[in-house]
Amino acid sequence: MEASEIAQEMEEMEVAPPKPPSKSQLFFARCLARASTIKVKAMSLLPTTDSWKQRAIKLLPVRDFVTIHYFVFTVLSFLSGFLLWLCQGRQRLKSRTNFLDCMFFAVSAITDTGLTTQNVSSINTFQQALLCVNFILGSNPAAGVVILTLRIDAFEKAHCKEVLARRQAEYLIQEALNGSLENATETGAMIVANTQGHLPPSTIQNTWKSFLSRSTVGRNSTFHGLSRLERQIISCTEYDAIKLLRIIVIMYAFLLQMFGALILALYFSYYQADVIGLDGVQPWALGIFNAISAFNNAGMSLMNDSMMPFRLNNLPVTVMCFLMLAGNTAFPIFLRIILWTTLKCLPRNSKYDQLRTTITYILRYPRRVYTHLFPTKETLYLVGTLFFLNAVDFVAFESLSVKHPDLVGLSLGRRVLIGLFQSLSVRCSGFNIVTISQLSGALLILYVPMMYVSTFPVTILMRTSNVYEERSLGVYSSIADTDEIEDHSKSLSPGLRGRLYFLRQQVKAQLNYDIWTLFLSLVLISLTEGGREPLAEFPVFNVIFEVFSAYANVGLSLGVAYDHYSYCGSFHPFSKIVMLLLMIRGRHRPLPNAIDSAVQLPNNDSGALEEADYLERDHEREREQEELKLD
């Protein structure tokens, strides 16, 4: 082909010049430009997200963790209660579920209590789904994820230079390791240039193990005697630990609830569809609802008889037993097992050195990073306590329920599984697999204190392992502690005597927090429900049982004779309001102290607090030694 022909073909292939825009196109372009300008000006006038946060926080009377927790739960309760009432649609005026009952549903769900004033099967599907959302939002794992997220954000703001330098150095080092030798030399120079004025890469790669020892780690993992550079390394390690924990907790809660819902839904669909249909419930809906309710220890069920129709089915009972443990009392145990197993399974490769270091830090100093994770010794105490309390409930149930009509004629294996389920429900969720009102009086009396102490093991361990426990109690003494311990404990070691003293102080503080609330609630409800009735006609024990169940957020109830909802469903409106307040206050029993390293947002003064505590402890020890010499 000749050159002239090629040139001719190229001329033919040339694209024609674009046509000038029409008047309508120009008009629309001007309108879009004007709209963009207006949008930019409007956005500039609006306050930023940070300013909204600051204004919202300023409205709170006291800006500590417990106050904010109360505020969030109260707001969520009102919003969800209003949505539950609103979503009744056209049947709202004719429905038996009035606004107070909707509020009761909302508060009971978000506090994971499970008491109801109407049958859950009587509300519509959207309301049931909203209850599931409340179960999740009010659970300990969800609250933990929110705290971890806020702490990550605060870490990035308080230590932004160190965090950015760490990220950049890690990225460049990884790039150098993956690239050629020439690129590695060039990248190394870039690291030095980019991290100038911050933590150098050699320091970033250093581990906290090189300077943390017995001389720098005090009681409950307090760090003292560290330089500013060492504090920065600790901050970077804790930042990585919090990020890792957030991922693990999210995956833990999501996967367990997903697999639990899948197993229950499949089982109900193929084996129990005829039983479930009696209450007009779909098998898949029941499986999902029960799995979420069991994991978050809410205790509600779409079935009017809770788990009683399935007491002869081993699989759903076993799955829900595991979910009840995994979501509440055994959550710290399972979480530590997951971290320990992950650490042991990591390949011995330099690629996983940072992850191995982070997990080791979490396991060694867990209460610096998360509320529901404890050191090895405290975790073993928790295992022993849970085993003992559940064993007491189980033995009492099996020995005192021999003639219960729901258990007569059952095999030993089924009775054991039913007893295990009911024993866990007393301290966890509030499901019932037998008729509670037909249990023996002695067993019901035992259930009252068992419900009350349901949160004690985790709560007391959380507070006694608090990094700032001495500051929260206002006690820095290690010698005077032993003066208040009984004479029979003088033979114990000083460290153990000190721990017993702090344990006693925490239990006293918890009892002071609880007793007046329970007493006042009992008086108000008793005056409202049976103030003028003689004792023989007023069910005092039913009220006591209901009050303790609400305050402990258990949800177990003796019920009413004419329906399937809780006994509090027969209360007057004022008594229901008292129960609402009781559930909200009870939900805040297991919270950590406001002065807790795992919930405090990091700042540049965190290290100064630990150094001040160490100096105060030293001064107190010297003063007490001088007093002992004078005596």
Q: Is the pLDDT of residue 524 over 80?
A: yes
Beta partners for 223? 217
- What's the Cα-to-Cα distance from 601 to each of 99, 154, 605, 607, rounded to whole Å? 38, 6, 11, 13
**Which of the pair, 97 or 406, is modelled with greater confidence?**
406
Count CB neighbours of 568 within 10 A. 28
DSSP string for 27-56? HHHHHHHHHHHHHHHHHHHSPPHHHHHHHH
The pair phi, psi for residue 173, each rounded to 5°, is -65, -40
Mean pLDDT for 66-83 is 90
Interacting residues of 337 by C-beta distance below 8 A, sequence separation 6+: none
CB atoms inside a 10 Å sphere around CB 487: 6
> Residues 14-67: pLDDT tens digits?
545 555 666 566 665 666 666 666 655 555 555 554 554 555 545 444 467 788
d(CA 488, CA 254): 49
Name the average pLDDT for the chain.
76
At residue 177, φ and ψ (nearest 5 deg) are -70, -35
Question: What are the tens digits of pLDDT across the range 171-202?
Answer: 554 555 555 434 444 444 444 444 444 454 44
Name the most confidently modeled range: 30-34, 152-156, 292-296, 371-375.
292-296
Residue 255, pLDDT score: 96
Separation CA 41–CA 109 (nearest Å): 43
Spatial CA neighbour of 335 closest among 281, 287, 379, 294:
379
| DSSP label of 235 | H
- Other CB atoms within a 10 A radius of the CB of residue 526 amount to 17
Place 597 in a pLDDT band, splitting at 50, 70 and 90: low
Residue 139 has pLDDT above 60, yes or no: yes
Q: What is the pTM of this model?
A: 0.78
pLDDT-based confidence at 369, cuts 50/70/90?
Answer: confident
Tell me: the pLDDT tens digits for 339-368? Answer: 999 999 988 888 888 888 889 889 988 888
Q: What percent of the chain has pLDDT over 90?
A: 33
* Residue 88 DSSP label: T
Residue 91 has pLDDT above 60, yes or no: no
